[in-house]
Amino acid sequence: MGKVGEQLNIDFVVSTGDNFYEKGLASPHDLNFKDSFTNIYTANSLQKQWYSVLGNHDYRGNVQAQLSPILRKIDSRWLCLQSFILNTEIAEFFFIDTTPFVDEYFHNPKHPKFDWRGVIPRKRYLRQVLKDLKSALKESVAKWKIVIGHHPIKSNGHHGETKELIMQLLPILEENNVDMYINGMTIACNT
C-alpha cells in the first residue's frame, strides 16, 4: 500500500470500514489501534490524513472508541465520524455510515452484540442521515460528487446487494447526480 501511495503521490487515504477486525475497538486506549493502524501504515506516503467510515465489524466493539477525538491525539492521521463531508475543491466526498441501514443486524444478527449507541432510535437516525445527505448533495457545486459507505449497494461479491440501500440511498444518489459510490464490505483477493 505504501508503494502505491508513493507512485500515486496521494493526498489522503479513504478507509471504507471494518477498520479493526474482528470486533472493533474496546476503548480509545485499545492497543489494537496502534497494532492495526499506527504501527502497520508506516510508509512515508501513508503519513497523510485518513478519512474513515464505520463497518459492521466496528459496531461489534465500542463504536464510540473509533469516533473518539482521543484517537486523533494518539495518531493525528485518524479521522472517523459517522457521517461527514470532505471538500477537495474539484470533488466533494460524502462519507455515510451504512451499517445502521441493514435490517439483519437489528432483527436476526449472526453476531448478537452490536453497539448501537448514537443510532437508536434507528428510524429517526436514518431519516436524519438521509435528510442531511440529500441537503448536502443538493447544495454541492463540486465537479465530482462521491459518496463513501461500507456496504455495497449492488455487488457481484458474496455479500451481494444491500436491499435497504437500494431502496433508501440509491434514489438520493441518482436524483442528485452522484458520480461515484465507493464501498467496502466486499473482500476480494487477487493472487
The C-alpha atoms of residue 85 and residue 105 are separated, in whole angstroms, by 26
> Pairing state of beta strands 84-87 and 78-80?
unpaired
The CA-based angle 81-15-100, given to 5 degrees, is 50
What is the rounded distance in angstroms from the CA atom of residue 191 to the CA atom of residue 99? 30
d(CA 91, CA 8): 17
Q: Among this protein's residues, is 111 annotated catalytic?
A: no
Taking Cα atoms as reference points, which of 76, 74, 70, 66 lies closest to residue 17? 66
Rg (CA), the chain: 16
Residue type, 78: W
* CB atoms near residue 96 (< 10 Å): 24
For 71, the 3-state DSSP assignment is helix
Q: Which of 29, 57, 111, 159 is catalytic?
A: 159
Spatial CA neighbour of 15 closest among 40, 164, 136: 40
Q: Which residues are catalytic?
A: 159
